[in-house]
Amino acid sequence: MSEKVDPQLEKAQILVDYVLIKDSSLKKEVEAIISQSSADFPELPVLSTGPFKTEKDAEIAVIEAGKAISKLKFAGTVFGNVSVKVKDRLFISATGTELGKLENNVVQSDLEGNSLNGLKPSSELPAHLEIVNNSKVTCILHAHPFYTVVMSMIKGIGNKAYGVPIVGGDVGGGVNGLSQTVPPALKEHNIAIVHKHGPFAADEVDFNNPLAGIYKLEKLCRKNYISKYL
């Protein structure tokens, strides 16, 4: 199965080329792309507080977090994923579903990755399982905020964007998968950026801190791109 590519990457590459190749002919196109995104971010939503103890609470939390990411426009139509661990179960957004429409699209999985309700989990399930099985983390958000993705491409793998580590990795498991690169970064930080792919943010209690971390990072990346490169 081929990996889906975020359509925003084409626009992101233009902003990156303008900086790295120093192609001044791209300036008007860069300014047009930036003008399409408002400088006024929506207010940061306040989500349910954890820890979550029941299956119902877990599903509601995943649906709520997905809607928040969608409202903030931090993910394309079918990009990004959300999960929460409750006891010996992981509740995670189903593959190919819009984060703003997760009702009836939350997969219940055991901690070995087997779906228990007939739905197919996100392709990034291996990374989520590796994180929750080897740490105290229970809640994970992954999004594709535009300027954070841009900054990851400018800075590059192995570097940091405003203190947040940038890692590589392919979607899924395997020796080069995100399940190998993201968990170690999250052990030292509660947020990490996957190159060209956006941040993962995690917490032991609920989704409020991960959402706030992604929100603040995206605002910082947008502000600093404009002030530094334009």
Angle at the Cα of 217 from the Cα atoms of 213 and 220, rounded to 5 degrees: 145
**Which strand (E) or helix (H) includes residue 217?**
helix 208-229
Tally the residues of the chain.
230
pLDDT by residue (tens digit) across 203-215?
999 999 999 999 9
| Predicted TM-score of the model (pTM) | 0.94
Q: Which CATH number fits domain 9-36+45-229: 3.40.225.10, 3.20.20.450, 3.20.20.140, 3.40.50.300?
A: 3.40.225.10
- Closest-CA residue to 73 (of 145, 147, 148): 145
pLDDT by residue (tens digit) across 53-82?
999 999 999 999 999 999 999 986 557 999
